Chains A and B, each alone.
Chain A
C-alpha cells in the first residue's frame, strides 16, 4: 500500500512538472511570449471618461494595424494610491506593460526598471524626436536616454476669483504681481468676506513639495542640484517659510491647517494649481489666470509632470514600446493635447492649445503655458520620494503652529531627509 501511494505520488509530481514545463515552453528565453496574441495593459490615474475614450480610440486604431495585439487595456488606479498600487503590482509579478508615472520615475529609472525609449522613438518614421521641448524631457532622461515620454507637462499658474476680489475692493496688477500683493489681497478678502485668501492646491499641510510653487520665487530649492544635500536651511527657504507661516497664522491670507477651501467651488480668492486643472472651472464666478507671482528672486515657473514608460518586466516590451511610439506620435499628441499640455514644440502655441480648450483663451494659454515652459523647473523629485515626503512632513508638522520656530523646524527637516538624500 505504501509503495503504491509513493508510486502514485511520484507519477502525480512528474505529471505536474511536465505540465508546468509544457506551459512554460510558450515563453522564449528573453521572456517574450509568442507574439500572436499580445495583450497590453497600461495603468493610468485618470478615470475621466473622455480621456479614457480617447485612449481607447487610439488603441483601436493601433490594433487595426497590428493584428497580433489582441487587446490594449487602460487600467484606472486611484491617484492617491497610484504609486503604492503600481509598486505592489510590480512586486507581485503583475506589472503592467506601460505605466503613467509621476514622482516614482526617479526610482524606476535608477533601478533600471524602465525600457529606454530614445532609439525606438528616433527610429520611428515621422515621430520627430527633435520636436520635444528640452525642459520637458529633462526629468525623465538619464545619460542621454529618455525613459518616459512626458505626456503631460503642466505649468502651475495663479487662478483668481475676480468676483471675490471685487467684493473685497481689491485690485491687482497682473503684470507686476508679487507674492506679497497676493497675500495682502487674500488677507483683505478673508477679513471682508470670510472666504479664504490664497490656497496652494493639494498642499493641505501635507504635500509640502507643492510649496515649491512659492519658494522657487524666493530663490529657494529643497536640495542641491546633485540631490545630495538638503538646502531647507538656506536663508531663501527661511524667508519663504516665514512668508507662508505669516500667511497662515498672522495675516490669515492662507487658510490654516485643518481648514479646507476649494477655489473651484468659489471658496477662495486665489489658488495655485496646474493649468490642466482648468477643466474644474465653471461659470459660478468670474475668473482670471496668470503666471505665478514674482517673489524676492523674481519671476519663476514651476511645472508638474507626468510621463508614460514601458516596464522592463513587461513580457511584450517591443510591442509595448511600439504602441507607446504610436500613442505619442505627432498626430496623436495633438489629440492628447486637449487634456494634457504636450511636450512638443510644434504644438506649443496658445492658438493650438486653445483649439480644444473650452475655458481658457489662446492668450491665457500662451502666457500661462507656452511662455513658461522653456525656463520652468519641476517640483522637487528624488529617489525614495515617498520616504522623503513622509519624513519631511513629519518634521514640517511643527511648522504649522502659531508659535513655530521657523529656522529650527527647517533644520529638523534637513536632519530628517538628509540621510535619505545621501543614500
Chain B
C-alpha cells in the first residue's frame, strides 16, 4: 500500500523510472485495495476446513434427499430403467395403504420401548457405575462391549437364543418356566426386538451419562448433604438438572437411532409375525428394494425423514423448558 512508494525495488530504479513507479503505485493504492485481506484469508481457511464435511453433506445428504423427492414423483421400472412422472400418485398411495397404520404403530411401539429403556437403563447403569467399588471398570466394559459387536452378528446370535428350542427357553426351562415362542407371537416378537436392541446399544448412553455425571461438581452434593438432602432429592435437584444437556443429546440420538433400526428387524423377525415388527425403515426397504417400487419407497423414506426432523425439532424447542444450562 503506502509502503510501495519506498520499496527497495523502486529505490533501485533510475530516478525517472522511480517517479513513474511511485505514481502508478499510488494510483493503484487509492483505486483498488489488495484482494487477499486478512479477513478474506480467514474466510477462505474456514471454508477449506469445513469443505470435506460440506462435500459429504452435499453428496450423501442433499443430493440423495433431492433424488428421493424426484423418485417419489415418479414410477420407476427398475428392470428397464424407464421413469415416468406420476405427480403425487405415490403420496396418494400413502393414504390408501392398508398396511401403513400397522407399520406406524409398530414403529411407535418400537421407538417408545427402545428410547425409554435405553435412556432409563443407561442412566441407571451410569449412576450405579459412577460409584467407586471393586470391579466398576469391569462392569463398565461389560455393558459397553456389545456396542462394538457387529449388529448383524449380535442379532443372529440372539435369533438362535430366542428360538422356541433356543438358549433362553432352555434357561427358563431349567428353573421350571415354560418360555414363550419369542419370535413367533406379535407381542413377544416386539419385546424381543426391543430388548436385543437395548442390550446392544445401552452402553453408548451409559458412557455419555457417566461422562456427564463426572462433570457434576462434588461441592454441590456436599452442600446439599449439609442441608440434610437425601439421595432422591440430590438426584432430582442436582444430578438431573446438571446432566440435562446430556439427556437432551442422548434422547435425540436414541430416537433417531431407533427410527433407523433396520438390521435387527431384518435379521431377527423379517418384520413378522404378521406386521407386528415391521417398522417404517424396514417397510421402506421392502417397498423399494424387494418389491422394486422405488417411487413409493422414496415417498415412505421422505415420510420417515419428516418424522425424524419433526421429533428433533420438537425436542430442540422443548429444551428451553427442561435443559438446565439453557435457562
Contacts of B275 in A (CB 8 A): 394
Contacts of B270 in A (CB 8 A): 206
On whether the beta carbons of B79 and A87 are closer than 8 Å, the reply is yes
On whether the beta carbons of B291 and A384 are closer than 8 Å, the reply is yes
On whether the beta carbons of B77 and A393 are closer than 8 Å, the reply is no
How near does chain B come to A382, taking the closest CB pair, in angstroms?
13
On whether the beta carbons of B290 and A111 are closer than 8 Å, the reply is no
Contacts of B79 in A (CB 8 A): 87, 90, 107-108, 111, 113
On whether the beta carbons of A259 and B164 are closer than 8 Å, the reply is yes
Task: State whether the Cβ of A73 lies closer than 8 Å to any Cβ in chain B.
Answer: no
Given A260-B163, A393-B272, A87:B181 Cβ within 8 A: no
- Out of B165, B183, B290, B292, name the residue touching A390 (CB < 8 Å): B290
How far is A302 from B293 in the complex, measured between Cα atoms in Å? 31
Given A87-B78, A87-B79, A88-B289, A258:B181 Cβ within 8 A: yes
- Out of B78, B165, B182, name the residue touching A91 (CB < 8 Å): B78
Task: State whether the Cβ of B196 lies closer than 8 Å to any Cβ in chain A.
Answer: no
Task: State whether the Cβ of B286 lies closer than 8 Å to any Cβ in chain A.
Answer: yes
Contacts of B77 in A (CB 8 A): 111
- Out of A91, A113, A386, A400, name the residue touching B76 (CB < 8 Å): A91
Contacts of B294 in A (CB 8 A): 91
How far is A108 from B81 in the complex, measured between Cα atoms in Å? 12
**How many B residues have CB within 8 A of the partner chain?**
25
How far is A313 from B291 in the complex, measured between Cα atoms in Å? 20
Contacts of B272 in A (CB 8 A): 206, 393-394, 397
Given A387-B290, A394-B275, A397-B273, A256:B181 Cβ within 8 A: yes
User: Taking chain B's interface residues, is the majority helix, strand, or loop, or is none over half, making it mixed?
Assistant: loop
How near does chain B come to A104, taking the closest CB pair, in angstroms?
9
How near does chain B come to A348, taking the closest CB pair, in angstroms?
32
On whether the beta carbons of A112 and B181 are closer than 8 Å, the reply is no
Closest to A92 in B: B78
Closest to A205 in B: B184
Task: State whether the Cβ of A375 lies closer than 8 Å to any Cβ in chain B.
Answer: no
Given A93-B81, A259-B165, A394-B272, A87:B292 Cβ within 8 A: yes
How far is A387 from B296 in the complex, measured between Cα atoms in Å? 13
How far is A393 from B272 in the complex, measured between Cα atoms in Å? 9
A-B contact count (CB 8 A): 71
How far is A393 from B290 in the complex, measured between Cα atoms in Å? 14
Closest to B160 in A: A260
On whether the beta carbons of B164 and A258 are closer than 8 Å, the reply is yes
Closest to A420 in B: B291
Task: State whether the Cβ of B29 lies closer than 8 Å to any Cβ in chain A.
Answer: no
On whether the beta carbons of B289 and A84 are closer than 8 Å, the reply is yes
Q: List 15 A-B contacts (CB under 8 A).
A: A87-B78, A87-B79, A91-B76, A93-B81, A107-B79, A107-B292, A108-B79, A206-B270, A257-B164, A257-B181, A258-B165, A390-B291, A394-B275, A397-B272, A400-B273
On whether the beta carbons of A258 and B184 are closer than 8 Å, the reply is yes
- Out of B182, B273, B291, name the residue touching A386 (CB < 8 Å): B291
Chain B 119-149 interface 0/1 with A at a Cβ cutoff of 8 Å (1 = within) = 0000000000000000000000000000000
Contacts of B76 in A (CB 8 A): 91
Please provide the chain A residues from 354 to 413 with a CB less than 8 Å away from any CB of chain B in the complex.
Answer: 384, 386-387, 390, 393-395, 397-398, 400
How near does chain A come to B100, taking the closest CB pair, in angstroms?
13
Contacts of A387 in B (CB 8 A): 290-291
Q: 8 closest Cβ contacts across the A-B interface? A: A258-B164, A111-B79, A113-B79, A397-B273, A91-B78, A386-B290, A387-B291, A257-B184
Contacts of B184 in A (CB 8 A): 205, 257-258, 400
How far is A91 from B78 in the complex, measured between Cα atoms in Å? 5
Task: State whether the Cβ of B274 lies closer than 8 Å to any Cβ in chain A.
Answer: yes
How far is A305 from B243 in the complex, measured between Cα atoms in Å? 61
How far is A93 from B79 in the complex, measured between Cα atoms in Å? 10
Chain A 307-326 interface 0/1 with B at a Cβ cutoff of 8 Å (1 = within) = 00000110000000000000
On whether the beta carbons of B81 and A258 are closer than 8 Å, the reply is no
Contacts of A112 in B (CB 8 A): 80
How far is A393 from B278 in the complex, measured between Cα atoms in Å? 13
Contacts of A93 in B (CB 8 A): 81
